Amino acid sequence: MPQYKKICNSHVAIPEKPIGVVEFYGGQFFGQFPLGSYEYFLQCLYEAGYAVIAVPYEFSTNHIAVARKLLTVRDCVKKAFPELEDLTFFWIGHSLGCKLIAMLEAWTEKETNRLVLPASYKSMAEAEELAQLSGIYDQPSVLLAPVFADNDDLVPFPPISYLIDKIGLGVKPTRQEVRDEIERSDLFNLTGIVCFKDDDVAGHFSSNAEKKDVPWLIEKLSKPGRTDEFYKQELPGGHLKPNGDYCCQHVFGVQMVAGVLVVPTIQHAPRDLEPVVLTMLNKLGEGI
């Protein structure tokens, strides 16, 4: 069982002989309590030999500031534990947590490994601070049911969503801005996606790419000439499948019904998600 230490605004667990480092950022609600909400998933990463950095979700519409926090946590943990410095660093996100990781990759300049933000955001204080930090070039990522949510998702009532934007309190950046940056990026070659067949939030292989982020992102990562298929996997289950606590050889989790109702689930351990993610981490790491 991992023994977590509270450090650098995160929870850190390091196995005896770590083979890599994973920084994890979960979804909007459950991600606020990652050790409880994602206990089994994080435990499997740890038992496979990965040092785990679980960062509690910070509710904010300023996703640029939150993205900066993820990088400062990474650098702070590396400074606190020098033995991690030479290990491959991975990122794993779930749901809205994936948006922050995708932003960092889209903004990372390949030649310098520095972050270059869109012109519309360069005047923000966070943009200047981000420019001083290293990007995530050659740091593979696995996105679980990725969602690039903006105002329309958080406030599903157009007049209020429009008003929030007008007074400067809207989500920054928006879904379309993130998609535009991914379109322009020449990275995302070390990115894996896991989606779920019954996920009506992020979508799945057969969802509408205009409305759901999973099929849109898979389409963008399916570059001409790419023949490997390991980087995209669809599993049974719903949007909240990565959640779950382990007890008595079972994983006790939750699932979403009708888009709003959350009901309990019980799965026998081991489940199918964790081996898929571990295989993906291994193959992505080989690509560096």
Question: CB pairs under 8 A, 24+ apart, for 258-263?
Answer: 259/200, 259/201
CB-based contact 26:34 (threshold 8 Å): yes
Dist. CA 39–CA 41, nearest whole Å: 6
The position carrying tokens 């007008």 is 166
- pTM exceeding the 0.85 threshold for the entire prediction: yes
Dist. CA 193–CA 175, nearest whole Å: 18
- Percentages helix, strand, coil for the chain (3-state, rounded to 5) are 35, 25, 40
CB-based contact 281:22 (threshold 8 Å): yes
Residues in a beta bridge with 113: none
Per-residue pLDDT of the chain (288 residues; tens, 9 = 90+): 899 999 999 999 999 999 999 999 999 889 999 999 999 999 999 999 999 999 999 988 899 999 999 999 999 999 999 999 999 999 999 999 999 999 999 999 999 999 988 888 877 877 788 888 999 999 999 999 999 988 777 666 566 666 777 676 778 899 999 999 999 998 898 999 999 999 999 999 999 999 999 999 999 888 776 667 779 999 999 999 999 999 999 999 999 876 666 889 999 999 999 999 999 999 999 988
Alpha helices, H only, the chain? 34-37, 39-47, 63-80, 97-107, 125-130, 151-154, 158-166, 175-184, 213-221, 273-286
Dist. CA 109–CA 102, nearest whole Å: 13
Dist. CA 204–CA 3, nearest whole Å: 35
Where are any strands of DSSP class E within 182-260?
Answer: 191-196, 232-235, 245-247, 250-257
Apex 113 CA angle, 112 and 116, nearest 5: 90
The two beta strands, 191-196 and 232-235, are parallel
The two beta strands, 89-94 and 114-115, are unpaired
| pLDDT reported for residue 229 | 73
Domain residue ranges of the chain, discontinuous segments joined by +: 5-243+272-286
CATH class of 5-243+272-286: alpha beta
* DSSP structure class, residue 147: -
